[in-house]
Amino acid sequence: MAKTPAKQTTASAAKKVAKKAAPKQAASKAAAPQTKKAAKKSPAKGKDRWAAIRAQLEARRAELLADAQQVLEGSLGSEKEVMAEIGDRATEEIDDNFQARLKGREHKLIAKIDDTLARMARGEYGLCESCGEEIAYARLLARPVTTMCIDCKTAQEAEERNFRR
C-alpha cells in the first residue's frame, strides 16, 4: 500500500519533532539522577558536617527576630486609633488576634531553631529521637528543625489521625 502525500508529510513531520525532542529528553534524564543523588547524599562526617544547615537556621532566626523587633517598635511607637464604629473596632480586634497568633507561631519556630542549634552543638543533630536512626539528609535540608525520620513521623501522624476520630 502506497503512502499518500498527506500521510508522508505528517509522518516526516512527526519524525523531525521526535528527533528534536530526543536530545532534550536524554539530557534531562541524564541530569535528573545526578541532582537526586546530590540531594540525598549526606555530607561527610566531621566538624562542619551541618554547616550549610546551621547557616540556614541562623539566617532564619535572625530574620524572625528582626521582624519581631520591627513589630514591637511599630506597636510601641504608634498609638491605637480610637474608633467609633463597632465594625471598625471588631475588624481591628480580629487583625490584632491574627497578628498575635502569627507571632506565637514565630516564637515557637525560634524555640525550635534554638533547640536544633543546641542539638548540633551537642552532636545529636540528624538522629531520630524516636528510633535513633540517622535522618535522611534531604529531609534535614527540607525541614531543618525536624527531630524524627520520615518513617517515625509518618507513624506518629497516623496515630494522631486515629486518635482524633
Give pLDDT tens digits for 109-149: 999 999 999 999 998 999 999 999 999 999 999 999 999 99
Give pLDDT tens digits for 24-36: 333 333 333 333 4
Question: Is the pTM value of this prediction over 0.75?
Answer: no
Q: Which residue has the higher pLDDT, 116 or 21?
A: 116
User: Residue 44 is inside which H or E element, if any?
Assistant: none
Assess contact for 128 and 117: CB atoms under 8 A. no
Cα separation, 28 vs 24, in Å, equals: 6
Q: Would you give the distance in Å from CA 3 to the centre of its chain? A: 56
Question: With the C-alpha atoms ordered 106, 140, 131, 43, is the resulting torsion angle positive or negative?
Answer: negative
